[in-house]
Structure 1
Amino acid sequence: MTATDAQRATAWQVQSLLMGYPDPPLLERLPLLSAAVTTLPDAIGAPLRTTLDHLARTPLTELAADYVATFDHRRRFSPYLTYFTYGDTRKRGMALLRFKHAYRQAGLVLDDAELPDHLAVVLEFAASGDAAVGTRLLIEHRAGLELMRLGLHEHGSPWAHVVDSVCATLPPMGRRDHDSVARLAAEGPPEEEVGLAPFAPPEYMPAGRGEPR
């Protein structure tokens, strides 16, 4: 069953919330999120039900600790999509500006406390901003998204199912996508190029941020 535009928007909204830091407001929304998921095609909704069930039966302190250990301390699972393409290089600054500009053109102003390429932010934009542009941003970073998905599954993370659901809203990967994933898995993100001048203002540069959240 092919998802409708409304179903994809619902899925992206639920996925966005589930990819955020687990807190009391999120747990309070679980019944509402579970109800929303019942309206989705099984390929998109079933993975989300798995994660929702895990959140419902796991203490909040344990969820929070697991989230931090997964996304704050492991670059392999970075929720920042441009990290996989540009690493912690100056070129990443320009990529971040592209995200910001896309949001502004849709009339959305992003909180400066969060980088614009966080998967939860991109999903929120796709759900409530511009679905076509949001889809394009996700597809452009499909290799990193897939590598994160595979790594989370290997780690046994409950958030792997959320990324499964995200990928189910996108077109199937082609041969070029699979080649990009294999190359990224073998080589990793690029390292800094010595002597390269910054392409973006310092506030959008990843240098000095340490491990991505």
Structure 2
Amino acid sequence: MRTLKAFSALLNYPSTDLGAAVPEIRSLLAEEGLVDPRPLAPLLRLLEEEDVYDLQERYVTLFDRTRSLSLHLFEHVHGEGRDRGQAMVDLKSIYEAAGFVIDGSELPDFVPLFLEYCSLLPADEARAMLADPAHILTVLGERLRKRESAYAAVFEAVVGLAATKPAPEVFEAIVPETDQDPNDLAALDAAWEEEEVRFGPGAGADCGAEGLAAKLRQAKRPAPGIDLPTVRRPKTRFTYASPRD
């Protein structure tokens, strides 16, 4: 589903290349017809027309300085717990088992990276993969909607593509909102300090799609420019190093 590739791009750090790609994204959404493009129109218009520095500042305030809006999936169910590192290892192993190598500085659970991976799967597999974190994506969309952010429409569209809707009880797993003032940088630094996440041998062995689902579904235990490639090669490299000056 190339639509997921477009959503991946829309959730990445704004750039002039992304703004220039908006007409291509509009065409792709219309061509595939998997989602209603109208709710996405405000975000596309912003990315196309607004000053890129204003867009970047807004993006950083939302996703980098507001912990409850983090674009890292496991932040919302594992917080600073040790299970987060194992979940990262499991997801990285799923990518590698499919022949995909992360080329960049982002962690495996970065939402744009996850969506890019899903975009390269057969449609049924992609929808099943999206169903696992659907409760997280739903909550992110709701939190963005409360802030009247145009980014909410992307999360709502992604959840709409998932194979199943999340059961009400799985929302108990989501870490509640306890955000610091996004402009208080000292407080933010202190809040974001956490144990180093390690990958590789010895980090854990319970990998696979079922293991990922187990990590994402914590229902009973609350946790403390854009190319759209046709994949022909056995290995695809994802590049998500977005420089932030």
TM norm structure 1: 0.77
Alpha-carbon separation, structure 1, partners of 2:19 and 2:51: 10
* Match in the other structure for 2:168: 178
Q: How does 1:1-213 map to 2 (within 5 A)?
A: 9-41=1-33, 43-129=35-121, 134-174=126-166, 177-181=167-171, 183-184=172-173, 188=176, 200-201=198-199
Q: What is the CA-CA distance between 1:12 and the residue it aligns to?
A: 0.1
Instruction: In structure 1, give the amino acid aligned to 2:109.
Output: D
C-alpha RMSD over aligned residues: 2.6
Q: What is the CA-CA distance between 1:139 and the residue it aligns to?
A: 1.6
* Structure 1 gap ranges (5+): 1-8, 190-196, 205-213
Q: What is the CA-CA distance between 1:154 and the residue it aligns to?
A: 0.3
SS at match of 2:80: coil
Q: Greater share of helix residues, 1 or 2?
A: 1
Runs of 4+ in 1 over 6 A off after TM superposition: none
Q: What is the CA-CA distance between 1:156 and the residue it aligns to?
A: 0.9
SS at match of 1:38: helix
9-18 or 129-138, larger mean C-alpha shift: 129-138
Alpha-carbon separation, structure 1, partners of 2:76 and 2:176: 7
Q: What is the CA-CA distance between 1:64 and the residue it aligns to?
A: 0.4
Contact 2:29 2:35 (8 Å CA) reproduced: no
Q: Check 1:33–1:91 CA distance in 2 against 1; reply closer, same or farther (3 A cut).
A: same
SS at match of 1:27: helix
Contact 1:44 1:166 (8 Å CA) reproduced: no
The alignment-based identity, stated in percent, is 23
SS at match of 2:107: coil
Q: Deviations over 1:174-206 (max 9, x none)?
A: 5xx22222x246x639xxxxxxx999549x9xx
* Structure 2 gap ranges (5+): 178-194, 204-245
Contact 2:47 2:55 (8 Å CA) reproduced: yes
Q: Deviations over 1:29-56 (max 9, x none)?
A: 1111111121243744333333212212
Alpha-carbon separation, structure 2, partners of 1:153 and 1:45: 17
TM norm structure 2: 0.67
Instruction: In structure 2, give the amino acid aligned to 1:150.
Output: E
Q: What is the CA-CA distance between 1:148 and the residue it aligns to?
A: 0.6
Instruction: In structure 2, give the amino acid aligned to 1:145.
Output: L
